Structure 1
Amino acid sequence: MFVLELTYTAPLDAVDAVLPDHVAWLERQYDKGLFLASGRKNPRDGGVILAVTGDRAEIEEVVATDPFVTAGMCSYRVIEFLATKTAPELERHRQTLG
């Protein structure tokens, strides 16, 4: 599982101009089953996405296609972790230590 932390590198008015494209990109990732949750940070200096896949290369490829990235609006910090404990609703994503 991955935590994707976005940090804006452009003013908010520029970010907002690209936001509809970013939201459409998010929807495509949800449709693929890749993203579980996402939202703005508070204060609004970026966002956070919770993603599921066992493949870091896949996540990095997906992140590179975010319109915020291609437009130079943000940088990403990709944090990989093992979700060894989850809420019942996320049980299918639970991982074991190998």
Structure 2
Amino acid sequence: MLYIILLTYRQPLDVVERHLEDHRTFLAQHYRAGHFLLSGPQEPRLGGAILAQAPDRATLEGWLREDPFHAHGVADATVVAWQPTLRAPGIAAAIAPGAALANGTATR
């Protein structure tokens, strides 16, 4: 299952910056494990977003509790479970195995 995680900062940016390196270490750990696919700041910089894959929501929420942003009260995480049904030709089927290849025509 894919998940969209929206992080919303609870603290001013100077506090966020103090924990950013530890947060990036957390992200790197999950990229190496194959859990996280994309991440980055929102624009304007009110938080961030992560695209993740996990076997279930409980597992993902366990990972997020390990994030230094969570541990230090820097950001709140909103988790959206997402099951893509269509994918662009350049997106690997392994990322969204249940998604059909979009061919540019409308579907019902």
The TM-score, its normalising length taken from structure 2, stands at: 0.84
Is 1:4 paired with 2:5? yes
Residue 94 of structure 1 and its aligned partner are, at CA, apart by: 1.8
Residue 53 of structure 1 and its aligned partner are, at CA, apart by: 1.7
The structure having more radius of gyration, on CA atoms, is 2
Q: What is the alpha-carbon distance in structure 2 between the residues aligned to residue 46 and residue 39 of structure 1?
A: 9
Q: What is the alpha-carbon distance in structure 1 between the residues aligned to residue 95 and residue 55 of structure 2?
A: 10
Residue 86 of structure 1 and its aligned partner are, at CA, apart by: 2.4
Is 1:71 paired with 2:72? yes
Task: Give the letter aligned to residue 94 of structure 2.
Answer: R
Match in the other structure for 2:95: 93
Provide runs of 4+ in structure 1 moved above 6 Å: none
Matched residue count: 97
C-alpha contact (below 8 Å) 1:18/1:68 kept by paired residues:
yes
Task: Give the letter aligned to residue 98 of structure 2.
Answer: T
Q: What is the alpha-carbon distance in structure 2 between the residues aligned to residue 17 and residue 52 of structure 1?
A: 28
Q: Unpaired segments of 5 or more residues in structure 1? A: none
Of the two structures, which has the highest relative contact order with CA contacts closer than 8 Å and spacing of 6 or more? Answer: 1
Give the 3-state SS of the residue equivalent to 1:89 in structure 2: coil
As a proportion of its length, which structure holds more strand? 2
Give the 3-state SS of the residue equivalent to 1:7 in structure 2: strand
| CA deviation profile, 1:47-81 (whole Å, cap 9, x unmatched) | 00000123111110011110000011000000001
The aligned runs of 1:1-98 (5 Å cut-off) are 1-87=2-88, 88-96=90-98
Q: Unpaired segments of 5 or more residues in structure 2? A: 100-108
Give the 3-state SS of the residue equivalent to 1:26 in structure 2: helix
| CA deviation profile, 1:13-57 (whole Å, cap 9, x unmatched) | 000000000000000000000000000000001000000123111
Give identity over the alignment, percent.
Answer: 36
Q: What is the alpha-carbon distance in structure 1 between the residues aligned to residue 35 and residue 66 of structure 2?
A: 14
The TM-score, its normalising length taken from structure 1, stands at: 0.92
As a proportion of its length, which structure holds more helix? 1
